[in-house]
A and B are shown apart, each in its own frame.
Chain A
Amino acid sequence: KQEVTQIPAALSVPEGENLVLNCSFTDSAIYNLQWFRQDPGKGLTSLLLIQSSQREQTSGRLNASLDKSSGRSTLYIAASQPGDSATYLCAVLTNTDKLIFGTGTRLQVFP
């Protein structure tokens, strides 16, 4: 059974810091891995999608890497801003077409 774990569960940092959020999964048989952001009371916004054959994806200040063999992904946020405050979720798409989510990292960036 696929299990997805995110570390840390919560993070509070001053503005401007570079951050690394971690995601690990137990079964490497995945189609892809996706990072989402969720603001309080809102739905999920897709940030980055990494296919199983890819090593990383970048979008603006965000960079996500994937090491499928070791079951790990990291989301790197450069020069964090208060607007980055949200819960960040990683999810893997299994070969049974099911998206399995981690429990998230709650990020607060203070001015």
Chain B
Amino acid sequence: GAGVSQSPSNKVTEKGKDVELRCDPISGHTALYWYRQSLGQGLEFLIYFQGNSAPDKSGLPSDRFSAERTGGSVSTLTIQRTQQEDSAVYLCASSLSSGIGYGYTFGSGTRLTVV
């Protein structure tokens, strides 16, 4: 696609429910990144993929968070048993490749509200 597409754009969920956030990167981009931006906070790195593998999962806040990428394209970020502190904007970015200094293109994000 022309840009990075994220869905849904907004999600309201009840505490304790599971949610899935989707990211569709730019066609041909092999690197994909997930970030989280909480209200009034900076961007927090969660995980990145090079192809289908995730060399760095160090940013995932807890074992309730997981992510996968299939076919070197679409990625899903899953949050199980959501908590109120999970409320944030989840941003996805893609890059032509990792490690060679290419720029990132970000999607518009998914605003998650846990009530």
What is the interface of chain A, defined by CB distance below 8 A to chain B? 31-32, 34, 36, 41-46, 49, 51-52, 89, 91, 93, 95-104
Tell me if B108 and A43 are in contact (CB < 8 A). yes
Given contacts A89-B43, A99-B45, contact A43 B91 (CB under 8 A): yes
Q: A44-B91, A49-B103, A98-B48 are in contact. List 6 more A-B contacts (CB 8 A).
A: A42-B108, A42-B109, A45-B106, A46-B106, A93-B101, A99-B35
Residue of A43, A95, A103, A104 near B109 (CB, 8 A) is A43
Distance between Cα atoms of A111 and B100 in the complex (Å): 42
B residues within 8 Å of A by Cβ? 31, 33, 35, 41-43, 45, 48, 50, 55-56, 91, 93, 98-101, 103-109, 111
B33–A99 CB distance below 8 A: yes
CA A68 to CA B58, docked complex, whole Å: 26
Give the 8 A-B residue pairs with the shortest CB-CB distance, closest first. A31-B101, A43-B108, A44-B106, A49-B103, A101-B43, A97-B98, A103-B42, A32-B101
CB distance from A75 to the nearest CB of B (A): 15
Chain A's interface: helix, strand, loop or mixed, by majority? strand
> Within the assembled complex, what's the spacing in Å between the Cα atoms of A52 and B102?
11
Report chain A residues within 8 Å CB of B100. 31
State the CA gap A41–B10 with chains docked (Å).
Answer: 11
What residue in chain B is nearest A32 (Cβ atoms)? B101
A32 to B100 alpha-carbon distance, docked (Å): 9
- How far, in whole Å, are A99 and B50 apart by their CA atoms in the complex? 14
Give the nearest-CB partner of A4 in chain B: B42
A36, A97, A102, A104: the one within 8 Å of B106 (CB):
A36
A42 contact set on B, CB distance < 8 A: 108-109
CB of B56 within 8 A of CB of A96, answer: yes
Contact partner, B104, options A99, A103, A104, Cβ 8 Å: A99
Q: List 20 A-B contacts (CB under 8 A).
A: A31-B99, A31-B100, A32-B103, A41-B111, A42-B108, A43-B91, A43-B108, A44-B106, A46-B103, A89-B42, A89-B43, A91-B104, A97-B55, A97-B99, A98-B45, A98-B56, A99-B35, A99-B45, A99-B93, A104-B42
